[in-house]
Structure 1
């Protein structure tokens, strides 16, 4: 049973003042500027103009990819902290800054998301068709006669994989171009200028002086707890969710209605984590239970978006029946992955609940 009172050695036993927030925001702004400099220096050709050197995502060098991820990481943390602790920050500045950081983070994430989605779907096709690589023709490795279901899947797996490759590679190329344009735009330079100012001066309100940050962080945690309480965790405990599968196979291309609350919980969990980082500092130990919950929700998001991509590919006009069959099986597989991720989240969250005071 967890203790009801904070120990004297607990760093949060004492009030956490606005200086912690200012220090955190300055540190994240400095990290943003460092990542931006590395990104420009590690692009395609050291002597090229900045816009030409702004290789982003998976199409750039490994160093450029890491720098782009660091940019997204710091942008998300600054934006999340502005949201949680907005009563302590100048309203006009904060409300103008948050959507711009969200735009930048989302734009830079698109290319990597397309690459990861394609990799996930092709790996699932390989697994489902029983081969180490997408087969060029029907049959299992070694010439073994396939079962009817596996044989039908194997027939269409190669064409399904090729279709997904074309569609997601095109999406990735467009995302890469969009990110290049974004990093060369006046909009991005305005964001970078504001972050540069933030690295030296945090626009706190006069009322922020002496304010205890713990109350605002607790409010962020409460929003997360309420959102989790509204989730259908009983359904998440079931190994098969027929309603989710049927909806995903329908011709309606709209996002899956069951997924939205889970995506919202993922966002609120991230805000909760960032709020704790402000309170506890960068050297605070990792909460393995929150980490496990976040990983489960990331898997949920990835599987949900992969299932949607498979369903979208299956709606391509004039594809062969075997290809459509393979994509349907792939979609069902990813929806099962969604359910597995929900169950994993349920298990990790229940452990948190038991461990809470």
Structure 2
């Protein structure tokens, strides 16, 4: 699908949106934040502690509105009072990061267990196979590599379950503590004010949003241009596998530019929402590219979790083997996501 570039000079689209349109967008997002916060509080402490569907939905809505407010403060910062916006942005980033950790741990565990299930060919999930493996004993490993992977997958699944469940529990406690902290209440107070009054600069009312939104799009385009899209066209990247299994626990440097593009794509989407409002045209290309980059992020972090688990001291060789296979599988998923993004992005370049 051809890319729909922002054109601030288009005279057929009616009056160009100015800072007043930005104010309306920010008020709407602040209202969504307050609504989600009220929903979260209405679920009650007991429900929040158990992670009910209502509290999960409320936390998701909170993250969604926080990201959009923060992204808009970044893209359109020349139109907002500097001291106010620069003090609020890092607090919103803290809140978004804190609220996202629990969901990330849960999604990562589910992804890894399903991958282990697929790779081992087991009829039950790896963590369910632990008890059966103990009953069968070591004599029931007839199919060598597949058998080793099945037994190793059960133990690897149990190890990942322990590690990521613990991380999720800690993240849940951290989120609950954050939502009850004075720091959060200060942020909530500022957002509550934002729902009725947006601190625009004096010139914002006559300043068009188009050029600032176009600048966000240009930053995205430049970042994509710097990606190794030729490498992304290859089916597998062995260098990333070798790094992931090394003793170095730091993220692979290959992933960082792609994560940055994902962030810039999100900022571009939010800039379009503020610019066009509820009439924002749906850009299927952006949605498809964003989905590919989300898969890239998820697979990259899942691979890192598998590699981290493989560094656990004194684990059985079969467990380490299964985790190594799992890591390689997730790095394959990383490359597949890059290839999908490359296909999407280069297609729009050719057809526009």
TM over 0.5: yes
Task: Please name the residue that 1:206 is paired with.
Answer: 202
Task: Please name the residue that 1:65 is paired with.
Answer: 56
Gap change, CA 1:131 and 1:3, over 3 Å in 2:
closer
CA distance in 2, matches of 1:177, 1:321: 34
Task: Please name the residue that 2:24 is paired with.
Answer: 23
Q: Tell me the TM-score normalised to structure 1 length.
A: 0.91
Within-5 A mapping of 1:263-302: 263-302=259-298
CA distance in 1, matches of 2:52, 2:315: 36
Task: Please name the residue that 2:251 is paired with.
Answer: 255
Q: Is 2:98 aligned against 1:98?
A: no
Q: CA deviation at 1:138?
A: 8.9
Structure 1 contact 156–322 (Cα < 8 Å) conserved? yes
Question: How many residue pairs end up in the alignment?
Answer: 343
Q: Is 2:214 aligned against 1:218?
A: yes
CA distance in 1, matches of 2:31, 2:75: 20
Gap change, CA 1:224 and 1:2, over 3 Å in 2:
closer
Shifted more, 255-264 versus 281-290: the winner is 281-290
The counterpart of 1:121, out of the listed 112, 118, 143, is 112
- Structure with more contact order per residue of length (Cα contacts < 8 Å, sep ≥ 6): 2
Task: Please name the residue that 1:333 is paired with.
Answer: 329
CA distance in 2, matches of 1:4, 1:70: 29
Q: CA RMSD in A?
A: 2.4
Q: Is 2:82 aligned against 1:81?
A: no
Q: CA deviation at 1:74?
A: 0.2
Q: CA deviation at 1:63?
A: 1.2
Structure 1 contact 139–145 (Cα < 8 Å) conserved? no
Task: Please name the residue that 2:40 is paired with.
Answer: 39
Task: Please name the residue that 1:195 is paired with.
Answer: 191
**More helix per residue:** 2
Q: Tell me the TM-score normalised to structure 2 length.
A: 0.92
Q: CA deviation at 1:282?
A: 2.6
CA distance in 2, matches of 1:71, 1:119: 23
Q: CA deviation at 1:208?
A: 1.1
The counterpart of 2:165, out of the listed 157, 164, 169, is 169
Q: CA deviation at 1:352?
A: 2.5
Task: Please name the residue that 1:179 is paired with.
Answer: 175
CA distance in 2, matches of 1:32, 1:5: 28
Q: CA deviation at 1:249?
A: 1.1
CA distance in 2, matches of 1:188, 1:5: 36
Within-5 A mapping of 1:231-250: 231-250=227-246
Note the alpha carbon deviations across 1:82-121, whole angstroms, 9 max, x for none.
0000000000000001110111011000001000000000
Gap change, CA 1:2 and 1:330, over 3 Å in 2:
closer
Structure 2 contact 6–214 (Cα < 8 Å) conserved? no
Structure 1 contact 16–214 (Cα < 8 Å) conserved? yes
The gaps in structure 1 that reach 5 residues or longer are 46-52
Structure 1 contact 296–342 (Cα < 8 Å) conserved? yes
CA distance in 1, matches of 2:255, 2:195: 37
The counterpart of 1:320, out of the listed 309, 312, 316, is 316
Task: Please name the residue that 1:50 is paired with.
Answer: none
